[in-house]
A and B are shown apart, each in its own frame.
Chain A
Amino acid sequence: MTSTASRKSYGVKGAPYAHPSPTTTLKRARSAPYIFLLPASVLFLLFFALPIGYAVWLSFRKAHVSGLGLGAGARKEVWAGFGNYTEAFHDSELLHGALRVLGYGCIVVPVMLGLALLFALMLDTERVRLAPFTRLAIFLPYAIPGVVAALMWGFLYLPDVSPFYYVLDKLNLPQPNLLDGGPLYLAISNIAVWGGTGFNMIVIYTSLRSIPAEVYEAAKLDGATPLQIALKIKIPMVAPSLVLTFFFSIIATLQVFNEPTTLKPLTNSLNTSWSPLMKVYQDAFHRGDIYSAAAEATLIALATLVLSFAFLRAANSRNKQEEAR
């Protein structure tokens, strides 16, 4: 519609000049995409490529202190080879941080995606009530900053102000300390699950809704129960979006920082290097050793990339196997 309208107006206006020759159009069209992509490319170079390159460069450097370390020229940057990397590999704090995050991820990812899938399937059920309200409510935490979420839950974990402890107290039940030891993992995981379930639910629900209704008709005529339809038809058909949400959840888990950092003022059991990224921050800004921090950061980035590619390859080859079948 718009095209014919605009064609007419251009036709009248441009009549004396006739149409531009096809070759100039082609030339213009050839340079246009690069111009459109210029802002993104410049920003990418300045704020992604350059910092990454700089971090890698720093990871191979170290500070050399001559004499007593006094005066302007006493601290010099020198080549360190793989020194910072071997140090990082032997750093037990970093290793413990990685193990903690692994434990945390083993709780967060299955619980969050399990709940997201469950809610998405329930939303997709016939004759379900209050679906728009509950969908919005479950999605709501997406709009709440991680810091505020950690802060709200943090208060709910504090015995003095928490309704949970009030109930436990009235029922004379034991009151576990949620901000220490094993329960601390659950406490931090809960914040991540609370914040992330809604977004993943929407992703899965969207792909559930894109399944044409005819697919279910045959199964329904055969007397399949809603549960059977969910397990045998719906879940296999949304497998690609499950893979996607799994992938993004793993990446988010590796990068956990905000929640434990925000909970830290409320408990003594969270040290400053609880997660690997907190350790990187600690080394860079509190210990002032940007070289070690750069090496650790590079290692974490490499681990993320390797995991991502391994995962995507595995997902791809499975897809191909299924296509071949």
Chain B
Amino acid sequence: MSSLALGTAEPAAGTTPGTAQRPPLRRRIALIPTATLLLGAIYTLLPVAWVVIASTKSGHELFSTFTFLPGTGFTGNIKDLNAYRDGIYWQWMANSALYAGLGALLSTAVSAFSGYALATYRFRGSETLFNVLLAGVLMPPVILAIPQYLLMAKANLTDSYLSVLLPQILSPYGVYLSRIYTAAAVPADVVEAGRMDGASEWRIFTRIALPMMIPGMVTVFLFQFVAVWNNFLLPYIMLSDDERFPLTLGLYTLLEQGSNTPALYTLVITGAFLAVLPLILLFLVIQRFWSLDLLSGAVKS
């Protein structure tokens, strides 16, 4: 907090004439850092900009005009995408929204319960439980996904919505974030006071602790939403019916077919552009409500 305030106060003081005691030659803007950051931003925005522009080109323009020159085929591309297999692209997007939305919601609830229990109670085996849950982070997803697939097959659950939804509910990182956030945001004496007043443990959790945990839980939700939305491997292994595909898998199959028929390139590109759009918008809108700091596990005391 203090460093942020300092950062905004500095340039303001520097721009007022007269207060500057240093020689006027000294630059007001830190040139090298600003330039470095701008280069970084150009690097990260370059492929996004390319996809935005390429999605406006017709199949012919894609191969003939300069890549950063906007084309005239955007509405045509959208029409083609709508027409492709009776608009299955929108089915993929709805599936992604379902997997990510519902999955992240359930995941946040589980993380909140676990984080609260690990942060506010002292009980036998709490450290062991926490460490075992965390070890899940170390497991490569493929190594989990293959036996998960085989077990799902035994339960006749492969190629279903549940097969993609269920394995992603428990997020070790979500539990970890929830625990450290709760430990910092919910004072132990508040919980104790509720207990002394005769409130049930459940009531203490829902009425007293949960409101204090909300900012942390928003972060857990977004983290998990992005993780599920971006997941490719699990649906790749679990699903075969493309009616249930999420966007990532749908675009991949589209690209795979496109490698033989360049005519599909414009579909892939337009599809990719529309796929990143919701997440970018989500980020811009929600940026005010969540703190990136929380994502890295930093909690202000």
Asked whether A277 lies within 8 Å of B140 as measured between CB atoms, the reply is: yes
Q: Give bound CA distance, A77 to B199, whole Å.
A: 56
B289 interface residue (CB < 8 Å to A)? no
A10 interface residue (CB < 8 Å to B)? yes
Asked whether A44 lies within 8 Å of B136 as measured between CB atoms, the reply is: yes
Q: Give bound CA distance, A230 to B142, whole Å.
A: 40
B183 interface residue (CB < 8 Å to A)? no
Q: Give bound CA distance, A265 to B170, whole Å.
A: 33
How close is B224's CB to chain A, nearest CB, in angstroms? 13
**Interface-lining segment among B34-42, B72-80, B84-92:** B34-42
Given contacts A54-B147, A122-B33, whether A44 and B133 have CB atoms under 8 Å apart is yes
A198 interface residue (CB < 8 Å to B)? yes
Given contacts A37-B117, A125-B30, whether A148 and B41 have CB atoms under 8 Å apart is no
Asked whether A33 lies within 8 Å of B121 as measured between CB atoms, the reply is: yes
How close is A45's CB to chain B, nearest CB, in angstroms? 10
Asked whether B28 lies within 8 Å of A140 as measured between CB atoms, the reply is: no
Asked whether A140 lies within 8 Å of B45 as measured between CB atoms, the reply is: yes
How close is A30's CB to chain B, nearest CB, in angstroms? 7
Asked whether A44 lies within 8 Å of B30 as measured between CB atoms, the reply is: no
A144 interface residue (CB < 8 Å to B)? yes
Given contacts A127-B30, A206-B296, A258-B233, whether A212 and B41 have CB atoms under 8 Å apart is no
Contacts of A20 in B (CB 8 A): 198
Q: Please give the number of chain B residues whose Cβ is less than 8 angstroms from any Cβ of chain A in the complex.
A: 113
Chain A residue nearest to B275 (CB atoms) is A148
How close is A110's CB to chain B, nearest CB, in angstroms? 17
Q: Give bound CA distance, A52 to B138, whole Å.
A: 12
Asked whether B33 lies within 8 Å of A125 as measured between CB atoms, the reply is: yes
Given contacts A3-B189, A40-B113, A166-B67, whether A152 and B48 have CB atoms under 8 Å apart is yes
**Interface-lining segment among A68-76, A85-93, A289-297, A316-324:** A289-297
Contacts of A237 in B (CB 8 A): none
- Mark contacts of A213-256 with chain B using CB atoms, 8 A cut-off: 1 yes-contact digit, 0 otherwise: 10000000000001000000000000001000000000100110
Given contacts A148-B248, A210-B298, whether A129 and B116 have CB atoms under 8 Å apart is no
Asked whether A281 lies within 8 Å of B298 as measured between CB atoms, the reply is: no
How close is A124's CB to chain B, nearest CB, in angstroms? 8
Q: Give bound CA distance, A130 to B33, whole Å.
A: 10
Contacts of B129 in A (CB 8 A): 37, 41
Q: Give bound CA distance, A19 to B194, whole Å.
A: 11
Partner of B117, one of A36, A203, A294: A36
Asked whether B48 lies within 8 Å of A140 as measured between CB atoms, the reply is: yes
Asked whether A202 lies within 8 Å of B198 as measured between CB atoms, the reply is: no
Asked whether A161 lies within 8 Å of B14 as measured between CB atoms, the reply is: no
Partner of B248, one of A14, A34, A127, A145: A145
Asked whether B38 lies within 8 Å of A130 as measured between CB atoms, the reply is: yes
Chain A residue nearest to B256 (CB atoms) is A265
A82 interface residue (CB < 8 Å to B)? no
Asked whether B232 lies within 8 Å of A258 as measured between CB atoms, the reply is: yes
Given contacts A32-B201, A241-B296, whether A54 and B151 have CB atoms under 8 Å apart is yes
Partner of A203, one of B30, B45, B296: B296
Which of A's residues lie within 8 Å of B, judged by CB?
Answer: 2-3, 6-7, 10-11, 14, 17, 19-20, 25, 28-30, 32-34, 36-37, 39-41, 43-44, 46-48, 50-52, 54-55, 58, 115, 118-119, 121-131, 133-149, 151-156, 160-163, 166, 194, 197-199, 202-203, 206-207, 209-213, 226, 241, 251, 254-255, 257-258, 261-262, 265-266, 277, 280-281, 284-285, 290, 293-294, 297-298, 300-301, 304-305, 308
The 10 A-B pairs of least Cβ separation, nearest first, read: A36-B117, A51-B147, A10-B197, A137-B41, A33-B121, A122-B33, A134-B37, A265-B259, A43-B170, A203-B296
User: What are 12 A-B contacts defined by CB distance under 8 Å?
Assistant: A14-B197, A19-B197, A36-B205, A126-B30, A127-B27, A144-B279, A145-B229, A148-B248, A151-B251, A163-B66, A305-B138, A308-B138
Which of B's residues lie within 8 Å of A, judged by CB?
Answer: 2-4, 6-7, 10-11, 14, 27-30, 32-34, 36-38, 40-41, 43-48, 50-51, 54, 62-63, 66-68, 109-111, 113-114, 116-118, 121, 123, 126, 129, 132-133, 136-144, 146-148, 150-151, 166-167, 169-170, 175, 189-190, 193-201, 205, 207-208, 226, 229-230, 232-233, 236-237, 247-249, 251-252, 255-256, 258-259, 265, 268-269, 272, 275-276, 279-280, 282-283, 287, 292-293, 295-296, 298
